[in-house]
Amino acid sequence: MKTQLPKFPTIKTPINSLLSTVCKDGIVKYFHQKKLDFSHFSDDYIKFRYITSRYVWFKLCKQVEIARCFRVDPESVKYYANKLRKRGESVFFEGRPRKLTKEVVEFAREEFRRIYPKENYHYSSNIRRKIKNKFNKKLSSETLRKIFNEEKSNILAENFEIKPIESKFGFLVEKVDSNRELKKASYSNAKRDKSDARRSPNVLGNAKSTKPCRPRNIYI
């Protein structure tokens, strides 16, 4: 089914011999035998679907006539007319049920913290399968991506510490992560290194070399 927005005529246009419509000043009006029947704003497509479906349901016009007048897909007119016939008028005005309720979000966070440290590759499909079995809601990975990223940041912040260790040429920053292997990276002030090495070239390395000595990364 194609999703096409209706194009409302700016001059009074007949839908058939009984109905006609016109759009002026952003308000769409529907006339039944020259009498005003319904009206709505031009950007209120829910009201448009409800009114046209109502006309089709009461057999005041045909689906093809609505599609021809407003330049929409006939299948979409048929779809909303059947929706009104089966589920009633409230289906057009009731809000769409939220998939990510508070219970679903809490369950997804708990399952992520339990599954991710053990299996960090198929965790998304496993959590979505459990949500479908428990809450009967089918969610995509994009829907849960924000929750997963937040939990990853929380886990990293809990298990990540920075311990600066002073050295002669700067600081050796030791990164400690309980879930990953121990990593170490050195950060130093380049200008300070060059100036110290030029003043005393015999510190660390060959005495004949006049090049500034760089601090070495220390691995354990």
Helices (H), 20-163: 45-57, 63-70, 74-87, 102-115, 123-135, 141-158
The model's pTM is: 0.45
Q: Is residue 4 part of a domain?
A: no
Q: Is residue 131 part of a domain?
A: yes
Where residue 21 falls (left for φ over 0; alpha for ψ -120 to 50; beta otherwise) is beta
The pair of three-digit structure tokens given for residue 171, joined into one six-digit string: 């600081």
Q: Is residue 200 part of a domain?
A: yes
Q: Which domain holds residue 121?
A: 102-158
Same domain, 73 and 43: yes
Q: How far is CA 5 from the centre of its chain?
A: 24
Q: Is residue 8 part of a domain?
A: no
Report whether pLDDT(15) > 60: yes
How does the average pLDDT of the chain come out, rounded?
76
- Decide which of 158, 175, 190 is a domain's last residue: 158
pLDDT digits (tens, 9 = 90+) for 78-116: 999 998 888 887 777 765 556 678 888 889 999 988 888
The pair of three-digit structure tokens given for residue 21, joined into one six-digit string: 């419509």
Residues sharing a CB contact under 8 Å with residue 137, sequence separation 6 or more, in sequence order: 99, 104, 131
Q: What is the pLDDT of residue 14?
A: 93
Same domain, 84 and 36: yes
- Decide which of 92, 115, 149 is a domain's last residue: 92
- pLDDT average, residue stretch 193-198: 52
Contact 155/144 with Cβ under 8 angstroms?
no
Confidence tier at 136 by pLDDT (50, 70, 90): confident
Report whether pLDDT(11) > 80: yes
Report whether pLDDT(123) > 80: yes
Q: How far is CA 215 from CA 57, 107, 176, 204, in A?
A: 82, 48, 20, 9
